[in-house]
Structure 1
Amino acid sequence: MAPLEDFEDLFDTAPCGYLSLSADGVIGHANQRIADWIGSTRADLVGCRLQEIMSVPSRIFFETNVAPLLRLQGFVDEVAMDLIGRARTKVPCLVNAAERRDAAGGLLFTRLTVFRATERRRYERALVDAADATERAAAAERETSELREQFIAVLGHDLRNPLASISSGVRLLTERETVTPRGRQILTLMQGSVIRASDLIDNVLDFARGRLGGGIILARDAQFALTPVLEQVVAELASVNPDRMIDARFAVDEPVGCDRVRLGQLLSNLLGNAIAHGAKGEPIIVRAQTRDGVLEIAVANGGKPIAEATMKRLFQPFFRGDGRSHKVGLGLGLHIASEIAKAHGGSLNVNSDVDETRFTFTMPLIESTCRS
């Protein structure tokens, strides 16, 4: 037969602290476990008021919250308190308390079970600190991102004025001054740089506007033809890339309800991408047509096919793909083209194999509200 449990030893050495308070809050019984935790003895604890071994914040919380709740419902569970030991050391605890009353409802005593919670409170504090640090880091990142995008927007806007002056100067020299063949070649290169810089600024501004909440803004207009805009884009890029063959054919039933400037920007980005990354010895194919209620603009070039991993990120901002880091550009052209396609209610897709890489924009020919 198992020996009878020694209840006095169980009370004294239980894995938790026990306290019993008289009706006036004086400690009448205490076990050795809680005495050891605070560096005291059972004899020293008996006769003390509970508040005397509490930290000041815990004492205030007990008197203003725990005691009234005890009177109201007769018990409280898992109350966080800090007990203070002889050496003024703080002992984090969780306390359960329950009252015993007589038949008339008078308070006889209050029993408290105390659990040491040092590790738990340290873990909770670490979680709070980690959450605070994460929030601070996220807030700092948001602030930095907003400042960066605002800076990009302002910088892009301010760059337009000197760029316009350069473009005007090049045009005046080309049209009104006598220029040597070598000088004309240099002016052509300068004009190409101006066009490219202007495209970069457009892309940067559109990206910044989108990140700051403005989105791609459309100005749909069905009164003017789209084809002349597309032809102008091809002519400009062909003039500054005379070594590249561009085969452009357009069969668009005019007018088209679209933002002609934005679709010109889309074509410029796609054609510029083909010039930068396509095989130099092969022609670049540009097609625009309307059929079956759909506008389709496609740009195709030969060369090495795009890797599958790269295809998945091709339309992400600032992404230029493997093996393309030496190319000039911010990696925004395809992203902006994709956003323009979405704003028109259309899509921009890419297919790439050993024969060609083809980007295709499709848009339903229906009047719809502009998306931004």
Structure 2
Amino acid sequence: MGADDKYLDLFENAPCGYLVIGADGRIQDANGTFQRWTGFSKEAVCGKRFREILNVAGRMFYETHFAPLLRMQGFFEEVALDIVKADGDILPVLANSLEQRTPAGDVIETRVTLFRATQRRRYERELGEAKRQLEQGLHSAQQTAELREQFIAVLGHDLRNPLASISAGVHMLARNTDPSDEKVAKVLRLMLASIARMSGLIDNVLDFARGRLGGGLGLTRDRGKPIQPTLQQVLDEIRSSYPERQIDVLWNLDGDMIEVDHVRLAQLFSNLMGNAIAHGDPETLIQVTGKFSEGFFDLSVANGGKPIPQAALQRLFQPFYRGDAKGRQQGLGLGLYIASEIARAHGGTLDVVSDMEQTRFSFRMPIS
């Protein structure tokens, strides 16, 4: 086979379609590969304009985008087009085109190579369908989440009324019970502690729902009230509910008239104390420190026990993360999340450090 025959064979049987388009815009030659792919004979396709073998959408894009681009820069690459075959079926292709010009810039001919893109187009369609289904799934998940949070908000609100009735009944029994009857008094104390804990859980649920539904945690700041009595009241309630736990306290809050939401601060402190009770070693002290230092209010709660695993530290302030709480301290896993939101609402931070010696939660906020 001579050199001319080799080049002819390369043109006719190349693994891609070849078209040669004259200066008048009409197809002058089409290789054998193109003919086999499309079912057109050379005689049937020669004389046609390139746009005539494209589908309607392809014609529009070719005339408005690719032909002007070819005129301007003399080539285009990897253009997705659909060839209409002789039997009317569609052949998806990727087209590269290059103009041959005279030194004066006049077009001699345009060479077009076509590569089958059936698999690529199928992949693109499947990818588009997967994206559409994913977007639908995300939309559905978002709707479900919103509905769930609305349900939580309604549930938390509706639980308050029966709990208030139970609390009123227990307090009435406590007033009318013989104080010398230690057994009954102990049961009533446990009931009051459970009511207080349930009330705290409902508050956490409502705060969570309010934050997720866009209301955020509202603050009512007050500068005319010292904060130590607020913290001490929480501490007294914890000691009453858990008399067996040893709590060491260090207050250094002289001149403590700072602008803070006392109800929210008490909630934050109560959640930190509840966490220490739930996860700390019952044989070790819980250490509480509150102080003013260099323009900041610092409050920390530390307990002994096993350190928090590093993986758990990353999730500690996420909602519904419960750790390994046991017994009566099992809850919804919202306490630390709500505490961190209260800290953030005050412009402060809530951090944790945990090692073999102790686990310490520290709230810090700037004093305005």
Question: TM-score band, normalised by the shorter chain?
Answer: 0.7 to 0.9
Distance 1:325 1:92 in 2: 63
Determine if the alignment matches structure 1 residue 141 to structure 2 residue 171: no
| Change beyond 3 A, Cα 1:286–1:56 | same
Tell me by how many angstroms 1:156 deviates.
Answer: 2.1
Partner of 2:95: 95
Determine if the alignment matches structure 1 residue 329 to structure 2 residue 331: yes
Alpha carbons 1:14, 1:33 under 8 Å: kept:
yes
| Change beyond 3 A, Cα 1:281–1:112 | closer
Count of matched residue positions in the alignment of Structure 1 and Structure 2: 364
Alpha carbons 1:53, 1:83 under 8 Å: kept:
yes
- SS at structure 1 position matched to 2:268: helix
- SS at structure 1 position matched to 2:3: coil
What does the per-residue CA deviation read over 1:274-305, in whole Å, with 9 as the maximum and x for residues that have no partner?
Answer: 22222333443333333544333232333333
Distance 2:315 2:25 in 1: 69
TM-score (structure 2 length as normaliser): 0.81
| Change beyond 3 A, Cα 1:75–1:245 | closer
Determine if the alignment matches structure 1 residue 31 to structure 2 residue 40: no
Tell me by how many angstroms 1:103 deviates.
Answer: 12
Determine if the alignment matches structure 1 residue 252 to structure 2 residue 285: no
Partner of 1:304: 306
Alpha carbons 2:253, 2:291 under 8 Å: kept:
yes
RMSD across aligned C-alpha pairs, in angstroms?
A: 3.6
Distance 2:76 2:287 in 1: 79
Distance 2:357 2:26 in 1: 92
TM-score (structure 1 length as normaliser): 0.80
What does the per-residue CA deviation read over 1:75-129, in whole Å, with 9 as the maximum and x for residues that have no partner?
Answer: 6554422123344432101234567899999998765433322233233334333
Partner of 2:241: 240
| Change beyond 3 A, Cα 1:50–1:239 | same
Partner of 1:209: 210
What does the per-residue CA deviation read over 1:229-287, in whole Å, with 9 as the maximum and x for residues that have no partner?
Answer: 21221222222223333344534223222221111111101111122222333443333
What does the per-residue CA deviation read over 1:46-100, in whole Å, with 9 as the maximum and x for residues that have no partner?
Answer: 4566566433443454466656776788765544221233444321012345678
Percent identical across equivalent pairs?
Answer: 51
| Change beyond 3 A, Cα 1:311–1:115 | closer
Alpha carbons 1:318, 1:331 under 8 Å: kept:
yes
Distance 1:331 1:228 in 2: 28
| Change beyond 3 A, Cα 1:16–1:334 | same
Q: Map 1:1-372 to 2 at 5 A.
A: 4-6=3-5, 7-20=7-20, 27-46=27-46, 53-62=53-62, 77-96=77-96, 112-176=112-176, 181-253=182-254, 254-321=256-323, 323-324=324-325, 328-364=330-366, 366-367=367-368
| Change beyond 3 A, Cα 1:14–1:287 | closer
- SS at structure 2 position matched to 1:8: helix
